[in-house]
A and B are shown apart, each in its own frame.
Chain A
Amino acid sequence: MRLTIPEHEIMTPGHLACQGCGGSLAMRYALKVFGKDTMLSIPACCWAVIDGPFPYTAVNVPLFHTAFETAAIMASGIKAGLMVQGKDTTNVVAFAGDGGTFDIGIQAISGAAERNDDVTYIVYDNEAYMNTGIQRSSATPHGAWTTTTPVKHYKKGPKKNMAEIMAAHRIPYTATASVGYPEDFCKKLEKAKNTKGFKFIHVLAPCPTGWKYDPRYTIKLAKLAVQTNYFPLYEIIDGIHYKQTIKVKERKPLKEYLKYQGRFKHLLEDEVQFLQDFIDENYGLLSMKFE
């Protein structure tokens, strides 16, 4: 098989991520594809810490740390500043967690998407506020334990469908990705890099600390999420043309994915079934859109 992941490394190994961090892998791949002519906007999220304290940095490209709700608009501002100085070719990438994207940052994302600002927004989704110590976000799935949805009243209700929200803006490129499928992820990063306008990539980034699993299972879980249809991999062109990029011939039972994760271990059989039915229904609706 031909290796499609760029060989060169831009991110340095001396970062502060937890062992098995899916979010640090997401950044590593993103920088491999976007290259040195890139600037990052990073809001409050794990990566505000992972990059290292002043005066250190692990990304080797200019990085502006910004307020929680401003990753998208900060990228737009950086892009505008570069454009008026004739530096049109520089890629500007907002790189944010799910809390900064699904919750507090959604207004600025919607604004940048509606204006079709020429930046790429990557959300590394670990399905809760992990940097502050595992509090639920609107990306937390039904059934999950977090410190603000303890076992007695675990998270009820589905995860917000961010890709659909972005597609509704009719932006040129929306994609889902998983760090368990790096070649697929890199292809999508490449497409985003070569597309003008607002690009949105939602990458699932398992978190051993918050999901309560053994760090060695990060890739396994990132694959199982796809193989169970929990997190289908697809792209949406111009908000209307849906294409599945990793086809799952026979989906695995959801419990295969859940069983490794402490955050789901309190779920009884009927809740697991409820979640399974929900995932199947969701996938059914999505698959009707695939061209």
Chain B
Amino acid sequence: MKKTMMGNYAASWGAQLARVQVIAAYPITPQTLIVEKLSDIVADGELDAKFIKVESEHSAMAACIGASATGARAYTATSAQGLALMHEMLHWAGLARLPIVMTNVNRAMAPGWSIWADQNDSLSQRDTGWMQIYASSAQEILDSTLIGYKVSEKVLLPTLISFDAFFLSHTMEVVDMPEIELIDKYLPPYKPDYKMDVNDPRSFGALTDEQYYYEFRYKMQKAMDEAVDIIKEAGKEYEKITGRAYGLVHPYRCEDADMILVTSGTIADTTNVAVDELRAEGKKVGNLRIRVIRPYPKKEILEVVKGVKKLAVIDRNISPGYSGIFSQELKSALYNEVDIPVRSYIAGLGGRDVKIEDIKDMANDALKNDAPNDLIWKGVKI
């Protein structure tokens, strides 16, 4: 069934189709619509779930952890400050190996107060043991929620699905809602091997000395490694029932490209249009959208970029004191593998619009200049 909806509601309906059992959430712009809709869905009896209206995002994540530890499917959504407040519990969910799925509407961190698109909120949570997906359409938000649970419950790691504030959260798109019967087959009820069970009493997360902790981290890394193939399999299986394919990276016109732009989020969709226009001008440019940043798809990226003469990364985020985060990750993936110069651009922080012309400007700048550059500010007004 096709429906016109905002990106936020695609997240709500994704959670409903996933038959989440416990939702714990706290309002924050621009995410609020997601949980408002879910609140309606639960109140109307359209989803058999318990909704805990918590007093903070820290508690939202804690409640999801408790529910997930009993074997229930748990969900929450947040943005920026809320995600930052959860930070401690994100580590907790990751190390407790609980398959929680969370939606994060990418919003700039304060101060100054900003409610607009920026990826620094979720990228600050990169090392918490969550798999991270960056969606670029409303359809992908819904689909990723289902794929997210599928993968999470297999590898026992939580999934964070992020997408840009307002550009995606509040814009309308036609979204195909898969039939629930198909989804029920794709995503059967969560049945963990270990959970809180009065008939098999165990202590979870007890004091762990160095004789054990090190191996816990090793196993977490193994799970991340395995997740790469499992994400691909889950994407392929999803394609069989919906016709929509999802991988870890999505290349666009990269096959014969001399230069590839590396992008994520809504900038990636705009970049596809820019690529078409640049191609029409005779410039052999492609776009590689990074959809999953944890686990990092190093092999998949190298397969696309090997042989290309130049790379240009566009980051809607920055690690102050160094550079854009996707840029750093890309360069670390290339090092020791291939020698391709990388030009790294910062654009669109705090929700500043990144238009087709802006992307073409960056691409043309990169085409003209052969020298690598770690940090180029696009359109800074100082």
Tell me how far the C-beta of B47 lies from the nearest C-beta in chain A, rounded to whole angstroms. 11
Are the CB atoms of A111 and B59 closer together than 8 Å?
A: yes
Tell me how far the C-beta of A33 lies from the nearest C-beta in chain B, rounded to whole angstroms. 16
A63 proximity list for chain B (CB < 8 A): 201-204, 206
Are the CB atoms of A70 and B22 closer together than 8 Å?
A: no
CA distance A115 to B63 in the complex (A): 13
Does A240 interact with chain B (Cβ within 8 Å)? no
Are the CB atoms of A57 and B196 closer together than 8 Å?
A: no
A75 proximity list for chain B (CB < 8 A): 66
| Residue in A57, A66, A83 whose CB lies within 8 Å of B202 | A57
Are the CB atoms of A111 and B58 closer together than 8 Å?
A: no
Does B344 interact with chain A (Cβ within 8 Å)? no
| Residue in A53, A56, A64, A85 whose CB lies within 8 Å of B204 | A64
Name A154-175 residues within 8 Å CB distance of B: none
Name A47-96 residues within 8 Å CB distance of B: 48-49, 51-57, 59-67, 69-70, 73-85, 87, 90
CA distance A64 to B92 in the complex (A): 11
Tell me how far the C-beta of B243 lies from the nearest C-beta in chain A, rounded to whole angstroms. 32
Whether A111 touches B198, Cβ cut-off 8 Å, given contacts A64-B204, A75-B66, is no
| Residue in B21, B88, B92, B209 whose CB lies within 8 Å of A81 | B21
Tell me how far the C-beta of A8 lies from the nearest C-beta in chain B, rounded to whole angstroms. 15
Are the CB atoms of B52 and A39 closer together than 8 Å?
A: no
Q: How many residues of B contact A (CB 8 A)?
A: 42
Does A41 interact with chain B (Cβ within 8 Å)? yes
Tell me how far the C-beta of B179 lies from the nearest C-beta in chain A, rounded to whole angstroms. 23
Whether A115 touches B204, Cβ cut-off 8 Å, given contacts A37-B198, A81-B72, is no
Are the CB atoms of A81 and B62 closer together than 8 Å?
A: no
Does B14 interact with chain A (Cβ within 8 Å)? no
B21 proximity list for chain A (CB < 8 A): 81, 84-85
| Residue in B62, B69, B72, B196 whose CB lies within 8 Å of A67 | B62
Are the CB atoms of B48 and A84 closer together than 8 Å?
A: yes
Tell me how far the C-beta of A197 lies from the nearest C-beta in chain B, rounded to whole angstroms. 15
User: Quick one: closest B residue to A39, CB to CB?
Assistant: B196
B212 proximity list for chain A (CB < 8 A): 54-55
Does B314 interact with chain A (Cβ within 8 Å)? no
Mark contacts of A21-62 with chain B using CB atoms, 8 A cut-off: 1 yes-contact digit, 0 otherwise.
Answer: 000000000000000111101000000110111111101111
CA distance A38 to B205 in the complex (A): 18
CA distance A81 to B21 in the complex (A): 7
Are the CB atoms of A60 and B208 closer together than 8 Å?
A: no
Are the CB atoms of B201 and A57 closer together than 8 Å?
A: yes
Name A74-124 residues within 8 Å CB distance of B: 74-85, 87, 90, 107-108, 110-111, 114-115, 117
Does B1 interact with chain A (Cβ within 8 Å)? no
CA distance A66 to B52 in the complex (A): 18
CA distance A115 to B50 in the complex (A): 13
Whether A70 touches B62, Cβ cut-off 8 Å, given contacts A53-B208, A85-B70, is yes
Are the CB atoms of B66 and A41 closer together than 8 Å?
A: yes
Are the CB atoms of A77 and B22 closer together than 8 Å?
A: yes
Are the CB atoms of A85 and B92 closer together than 8 Å?
A: no
CA distance A36 to B49 in the complex (A): 26
Mark contacts of A266-283 with chain B using CB atoms, 8 A cut-off: 1 yes-contact digit, 0 otherwise.
Answer: 000000000000000000
Mark contacts of B87-119 with chain A using CB atoms, 8 A cut-off: 1 yes-contact digit, 0 otherwise.
Answer: 011001000000000000000000000000000
Are the CB atoms of B65 and A74 closer together than 8 Å?
A: yes
Mark contacts of B59-85 with chain A using CB atoms, 8 A cut-off: 1 yes-contact digit, 0 otherwise.
Answer: 100111111111110100000000000
B64 proximity list for chain A (CB < 8 A): 77
Are the CB atoms of B66 and A53 closer together than 8 Å?
A: no
Are the CB atoms of B198 and A65 closer together than 8 Å?
A: no
Tell me how far the C-beta of B61 lies from the nearest C-beta in chain A, rounded to whole angstroms. 9
A64 proximity list for chain B (CB < 8 A): 66, 69, 196, 204-205
Are the CB atoms of B62 and A108 closer together than 8 Å?
A: yes
CA distance A108 to B201 in the complex (A): 26
Are the CB atoms of B71 and A81 closer together than 8 Å?
A: yes
Tell me how far the C-beta of A214 lies from the nearest C-beta in chain B, rounded to whole angstroms. 28
Are the CB atoms of B70 and A82 closer together than 8 Å?
A: yes
Tell me how far the C-beta of A235 lies from the nearest C-beta in chain B, rounded to whole angstroms. 26
A84 proximity list for chain B (CB < 8 A): 21-22, 48-50, 67, 72
Are the CB atoms of B198 and A78 closer together than 8 Å?
A: no
Are the CB atoms of A81 and B22 closer together than 8 Å?
A: yes
CA distance A169 to B197 in the complex (A): 31
Name A244-291 residues within 8 Å CB distance of B: none
Does B207 interact with chain A (Cβ within 8 Å)? yes
Tell me how far the C-beta of A73 lies from the nearest C-beta in chain B, rounded to whole angstroms. 4
Does B227 interact with chain A (Cβ within 8 Å)? no
Are the CB atoms of B69 and A78 closer together than 8 Å?
A: yes
CA distance A117 to B196 in the complex (A): 19
CA distance A182 to B54 in the complex (A): 34
Name B268-297 residues within 8 Å CB distance of A: none
CA distance A81 to B100 in the complex (A): 13
Tell me how far the C-beta of A9 lies from the nearest C-beta in chain B, rounded to whole angstroms. 14
Mark contacts of A218-259 with chain B using CB atoms, 8 A cut-off: 1 yes-contact digit, 0 otherwise.
Answer: 000000000000000000000000000000000000000000
Chain A positions within 8 Å of B, measured between CB atoms, are 36-39, 41, 48-49, 51-57, 59-67, 69-70, 73-85, 87, 90, 107-108, 110-111, 114-115, 117
A-B contacts, 26 of them at CB < 8 A, read A36-B198, A39-B198, A41-B66, A56-B203, A56-B206, A57-B203, A59-B203, A62-B200, A63-B202, A63-B206, A64-B204, A64-B205, A65-B204, A69-B58, A76-B52, A77-B52, A77-B66, A78-B66, A78-B70, A80-B66, A81-B22, A82-B72, A84-B22, A85-B70, A108-B55, A115-B53
Chain B positions within 8 Å of A, measured between CB atoms, are 21-22, 24, 48-50, 52-56, 58-59, 62-72, 74, 88-89, 92, 196-198, 200-209, 212
Closest 6 CB pairs of A and B: A77-B66, A111-B55, A81-B70, A81-B67, A77-B63, A57-B203
Known contacts A61-B198, A78-B67, A84-B21; 18 further A-B pairs (Cβ under 8 A): A39-B196, A39-B198, A53-B206, A57-B206, A62-B198, A62-B200, A62-B203, A65-B203, A66-B92, A73-B59, A74-B66, A75-B66, A76-B66, A77-B22, A77-B24, A80-B50, A108-B56, A115-B52
